[in-house]
Structure 1
Amino acid sequence: MNEIVIQKMCKKSFEPVVKRIDQLLKEKDEYILVAIDGKCAAGKTTLAYYLKELYKCNVFHMDDFFLQMQQRTVERFNEVGGNIDYERFKEEVLKFIIQKKDVIYRPFSCKTLNFQEAKIMEFHRLNIIEGSYSQHPYFGNVYHLRVFLDIPEDLQIARIRFRNGERMLERFKNEWIPKENEFFLKYDIRRQSLIINGARI
C-alpha cells in the first residue's frame, strides 16, 4: 500500500477528530488537551502524528512514562491502570501545559530501564496526549476531547504479530492486552470518548 493511499485512508478515518479539534480551536482561547487512548495496534500513534502534520501542536507519548524499577511492585502491577507512571506524567507534563508553560520531561526507556535525555517542548495551545492509559482518572477532568481507537481482536493480533513478532505477541496476549481491556472496562473509557475504528487505517 503506497503512502498516498494511506494518507487518504487516514484523512477519511480521522475526519471526526479533525472536525472536533477545529471547533475547539475556534471556541477556546487557552490551551487544549486531547487524549488518544485505545487498544494497542489500533492506530493511536498514527493518529497523533497525522494531527501533528495538520496543526502546530505538541505530541506527548504515554510510552515515555514506563514504570521505574522501584515502582514495579506486585501491588502496582495488580492496580488497574497502574502499569504507567501516571504520577510523573501529571507532575512533569500536565501541570505545565495547564499553566501554559514549556514542558521539560525525561522519557523512561523500557529497553534500557533508564531515563533518556530530557525533552523540551515549547508551549502550544494544542496538545495531544497519545497512548494507552492517557485517560487515567488520576489526571482528573482535564481533557477537552477524548478519543478511543478501537479495532477487532483478529486484526489487532495480526498487526502485533507483524509489528512485534511471535514472541512478543504472547506477552501482548497474556499480559498487556488483558490489562488494557480491564482499564477500559473499569473506567468506562469508550463511553466518554469519540470512537474511531482503527481497522480502517
Structure 2
Amino acid sequence: MIEEKLVMKESCRKLFQPVVEKINELLKTKKTPIMIAIDGMCASGKTTLGYYLQNKFDCNIFHMDDFFLQNEQRTEERLAEIGGNVDYERFKKEVIIPILNKKSIIYRPFRCDIRAIEAGKEIGSKRLNIIEGSYSQHPYFGENYQMKIFIRLPKEKQIERIRVRNGNELLEKFISEWIPKENAYFKRYHIEKNSVIISS
C-alpha cells in the first residue's frame, strides 16, 4: 500500500509539474487575486490536481460539484441548455465575485443526498484560488482566470475509472447523459482549445 502511494505521488508530480511551475511564475507577479480553473473530462483527475496544488501552495480550493442545480432550477429548459446543469449564477455570486473583491466567502455546498444547500462556512480571502470541476470555465464567469487547465484521458480509461468509482448503475447515467452534456459544453465554448492540456 505504501509503495502504491509513493508511485502515485511520483506520477502526479511528473504530470502536474508544468502547472506548479506556471503557478510559481504567476506568484512572482503583482497580480492579485490569482484564479486558476481546472476543467476536463469526467474522472480525468480534476479533483486530484486541485488537492495536489492545495498541498503545494497556500490557496483556497472550490469545487463545482458543490454547485449542482437545486430542484426548482431543474426545468426542461435549463437542463437542455449547454453548460446549464450547474448553478453558475450562484457560483459567480458566492465565490467568483468575493474572490475578485478580496472578501471572505460564505461557502454553501449543495448536498445531492438531501437535495439541499448546507449552512455556510466562512472561508478567508487568499491570493491564490483554485476552481476545480466540470464547467469551471463556463463563460458566465468572464475572463477572470490567469490559467485555464483541461485534463483529458482515453475514453476506455475514463469508462473504467467511472465504473470503479461510481458503480455500473451510475456509469450508465454518465454515458447516456452527463458525458454528452460535458462534451457539448467543451465543444460549444472551445474549452480544450483555450486551456493548458494535461493528458492523464
TM-score by length of 1: 0.97
Question: 1:38-85: CA deviations, max 9, x gaps?
Answer: 001000000000000000000000011010111000000000000000
Q: Which residue of 2 aligns with 1:151?
A: 153
Q: Which residue of 2 aligns with 1:67?
A: 69
Q: Which residue of 2 aligns with 1:88?
A: 90
**Which residue identity lines up with residue 80 of structure 1 in the other structure?**
I
Cα distance, 1:193 vs. partner?
0.2
Q: Secondary structure at the match of 1:120?
A: strand
Q: Quick one: distance in 2 between partners of 1:160 and 1:181? A: 16
Question: 1:125-163: CA deviations, max 9, x gaps?
Answer: 000000000000001101000000101100000000000
> Aligned pair 1:40/2:42, yes or no?
yes
TM-align CA RMSD: 0.8
Q: Which residue of 2 aligns with 1:19?
A: 21
Q: Which residue of 2 aligns with 1:77?
A: 79
Q: Quick one: distance in 2 between partners of 1:146 and 1:51? A: 14
Count matched residues: 198
Q: Secondary structure at the match of 2:32?
A: coil
**Which residue identity lines up with residue 162 of structure 1 in the other structure?**
V
Answer with 13-22 or 113-122: which moved more. Answer: 113-122
Q: Which residue of 1 aligns with 2:188?
A: 186
Q: Which residue of 2 aligns with 1:28?
A: 30
TM-score by length of 2: 0.97
- Structure 1 runs (4+) greater than 4 angstroms displaced: none
Cα distance, 1:88 vs. partner?
0.3
**Which residue identity lines up with residue 30 of structure 2 in the other structure?**
K
Q: Quick one: distance in 1 between partners of 2:31 and 2:191? A: 27
Q: Secondary structure at the match of 1:190?
A: coil
Q: Which residue of 2 aligns with 1:53?
A: 55
**Which residue identity lines up with residue 37 of structure 1 in the other structure?**
D
Q: Among residues 166, 171, 189, which one is paired with 2:173 in the alignment?
A: 171
In structure 2, stretches of 5+ residues that fail to align are none
Percent of aligned positions with the same letter in both sequences?
A: 55
Q: Among residues 125, 128, 140, which one is paired with 2:127 in the alignment?
A: 125
Cα distance, 1:117 vs. partner?
2.6
Q: Quick one: distance in 2 between partners of 1:134 and 1:78? A: 18
**Which residue identity lines up with residue 117 of structure 1 in the other structure?**
A
